[in-house]
């Protein structure tokens, strides 16, 4: 469902606005917070006269410190009739501060059709802080997101129109457009994640990818079950064998002129995960419409590359299957053959995401000649146990790539923590009857997240590679800040910031013709 809120940079002053809610920034700094009066359209003393008390007295009354996202609101007549005035904490107006402030304003403005603010006139923004203004727009739009299949409206409606007073310069308009592109890409990912699995089967997701590709200037290619079998994608087929809704593989290509590098993104696309014959308990299974979050993140990322002017060629691979149980489902103890020719002993059918991604990674290594690989998945409960719901797990053996992704996560407000690829744990994946087992044998205290990462690494051909396990932050249980209950689309904005900046080429860890590619085994 598209975000309903529109953000418009406009000229003029705050008191001239026809908005029903106006937000005046409160800056934290020095000995006391200060109210930004620039852009109000009146002198500070006259503004004080129109408020219920002076700005200084209101700050004291509401115990405002200027903390990002802090809110106090009251009615006042600024000259054009009674409006709702919001004192909005913006911290030091850094990008992270303004993202939080934008989200807080959007939540405070729910139920109002129009709002206006002068955040674009903050000193750090007006001096060229395009990233800060983009972050404000991003936060406001993300907090306005809602997904509902109810027949009627529930709760206050999101804000329809947010005017950024004084943000009508070309630079400001560009910054707002950038924030909007980041937010709408994330909203697309959230929509896909939140769609019920009764509708969201592999064919549906592949069709949605085709629509997004057509609207975003991408080339799309889809493997159905017959083509998957013909081309040797044995792991994807094995995972989808228990469902009467067959699997798919989707390839999306973004190709700018004279690309600086070629990156492949792989997103886990399990449209529903029962666990297969290794059946999940109900409390876990009822969340599993979100188990295709990795594919949704990759599709959302691909949708905005052109809008953000990425100079990096990007291929997105979405291995999509439904992990069901039936007489045709794969069994614990089965041995399957992956795309690259290696055999895998399936010891647990609920460790299926790594299987479909192994096929996609093997295809990327054999056929696409990438400079780097990044995969995204709600892969292991162990990652959530280790890092909670606020931080994603990052595994990588490439220092430059890991540093670039970590920096992009900090910039986007989607933090990741680098986890170790402990080499001693690799032996846990040895199988007595196949090249690999899909889970470890229980040693070293069952390091599930590391085992999964080490398993995926086997299919990366020695290329620079990073694995993002977003099982913790991929879902939210509440509406708070930029998050809404349900799928979060976590890492969409991280990947877009990385791919639209210079770090994607510099941090890819290699160039075309990387020497460590693995040819597909016959």
> Is position 226 annotated as part of the catalytic site?
no
Query: Tokens at residue 434, please?
Result: 């196949």
Question: Quick one: DSSP state of residue 273?
Answer: E
Which residue in the block uniquely carries the two structure tokens 């075309």? 512
- Rounded to whole angstroms, the Cα distance separating 38 from 20 reads 20
Question: Quick one: DSSP state of residue 309?
Answer: T
Looking at 184, 342, 354, 457, which residue is catalytic? Answer: 354
Which residue in the block uniquely carries the two structure tokens 């004084």? 166
Looking at 8, 110, 255, 280, which residue is catalytic? Answer: 280
Residue 75 φ then ψ, to 5°:
-80, 145
Q: What are the C-alpha distances in Å from 515 to residues 265, 403, 462? A: 20, 22, 8
Residue 188 φ then ψ, to 5°:
-60, -45
The answer to whether the CB of 50 falls within 8 A of the CB of 42 is yes
| Cα distance from N-terminal residue to C-terminal residue, the chain | 45
Q: Which of 499-519 are b and which e, b meaning 16 or more Cβ less than 10 Å from the residue's Cβ?
A: bbbebbbebbbbeeebeebbe
Cα 349 to chain centroid distance, Å, stands at: 27
Query: Helix, strand, or coil here: 311?
Result: coil
Region for 39 from its dihedrals, namely left if φ exceeds 0, alpha if ψ lies in -120 to 50, beta otherwise = left
- Rounded to whole angstroms, the Cα distance separating 290 from 273 reads 9
Which residue in the block uniquely carries the two structure tokens 């939080």? 100
The answer to whether the CB of 348 falls within 8 A of the CB of 332 is yes
Question: Quick one: DSSP state of residue 369?
Answer: -
- Rounded to whole angstroms, the Cα distance separating 323 from 291 reads 10
What count of other Cβ atoms lies within 10 Å of the Cβ of residue 155? 11
Region for 406 from its dihedrals, namely left if φ exceeds 0, alpha if ψ lies in -120 to 50, beta otherwise = alpha
> Is position 354 annotated as part of the catalytic site?
yes
Query: Helix, strand, or coil here: 422?
Result: coil
The answer to whether the CB of 289 falls within 8 A of the CB of 270 is no
State the catalytic residues: 280, 354
């Amino acid at each position: 469902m598209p975000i309903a809120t529109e953000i418009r940079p406009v000229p003029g002053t705050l008191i001239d606005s026809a908005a029903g809610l106006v937000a005046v920034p409160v800056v934290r700094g020095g000995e006391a917070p200060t109210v930004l009066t620039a852009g109000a359209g009146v002198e500070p003393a006259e503004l004080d006269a129109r408020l219920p008390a002076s700005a200084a007295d209101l700050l004291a009354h509401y115990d405002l410190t200027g903390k990002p996202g802090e809110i106090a609101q009251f009615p006042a007549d600024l000259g054009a009739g009674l409006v709702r005035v919001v004192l909005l904490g913006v911290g030091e107006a850094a990008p992270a501060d303004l993202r939080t402030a934008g989200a807080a304003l959007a939540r405070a403005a729910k139920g109002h059709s129009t709002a206006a603010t002068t955040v674009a006139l903050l000193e750090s923004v007006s001096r060229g802080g395009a990233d800060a203004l983009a972050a404000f727009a991003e936060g406001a739009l993300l907090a306005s997101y809602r997904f509902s299949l109810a027949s009627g409206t529930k709760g206050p409606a999101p804000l329809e129109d947010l005017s950024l007073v004084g943000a009508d310069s070309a630079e400001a308009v560009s910054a707002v457009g950038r924030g909007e592109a980041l937010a709408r890409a994330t909203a697309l990912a959230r929509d896909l994640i939140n769609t019920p699995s009764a509708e969201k089967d592999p064919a549906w997701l592949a069709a949605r990818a085709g629509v997004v590709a057509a609207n975003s200037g991408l080339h799309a290619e889809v493997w159905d079950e017959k083509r998957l079998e013909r081309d040797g994608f044995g792991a994807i087929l094995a995972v989808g064998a228990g469902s009467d809704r067959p699997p798919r593989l989707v390839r999306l290509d973004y190709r700018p002129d004279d690309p600086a590098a070629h990156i492949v993104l792989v997103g886990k696309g399990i449209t529903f995960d029962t666990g297969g014959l290794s059946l999940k308990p109900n409390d876990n299974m009822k969340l599993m419409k979100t188990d295709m979050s990795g594919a949704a993140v990759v599709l959302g990322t691909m949708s905005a590359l052109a809008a953000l002017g990425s100079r990096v060629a990007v291929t997105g691979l979405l291995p999509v299957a439904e992990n069901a149980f039936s007489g045709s489902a794969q069994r614990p103890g089965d041995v399957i053959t992956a795309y690259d020719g290696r055999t895998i002993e399936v010891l647990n059918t609920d460790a299926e995401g790594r299987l479909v991604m192994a096929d996609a990674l093997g295809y990327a290594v054999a056929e696409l000649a990438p400079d780097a690989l990044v995969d995204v998945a709600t892969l292991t409960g162990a990652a959530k146990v280790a890092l909670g719901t606020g931080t994603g797990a990052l595994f990588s053996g490439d220092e430059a790539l890991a540093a670039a992704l970590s920096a992009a996560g900090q910039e986007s407000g989607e933090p990741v923590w680098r986890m170790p690829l402990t080499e001693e744990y690799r032996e846990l994946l040895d199988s007595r009857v196949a090249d690999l087992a899909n889970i470890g044998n229980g040693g070293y205290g069952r390091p599930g997240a590391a085992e999964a990462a080490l398993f995926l690494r086997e299919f990366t051909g020695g290329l620079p590679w990073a694995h993002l396990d977003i099982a913790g932050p991929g879902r939210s249980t509440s509406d708070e800040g930029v998050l809404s209950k349900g799928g979060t689309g976590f890492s969409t904005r991280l990947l877009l910031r990385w791919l639209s900046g210079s770090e994607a080429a510099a941090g890819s860890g290699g160039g075309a013709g990387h020497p460590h590619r693995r040819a597909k085994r016959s």
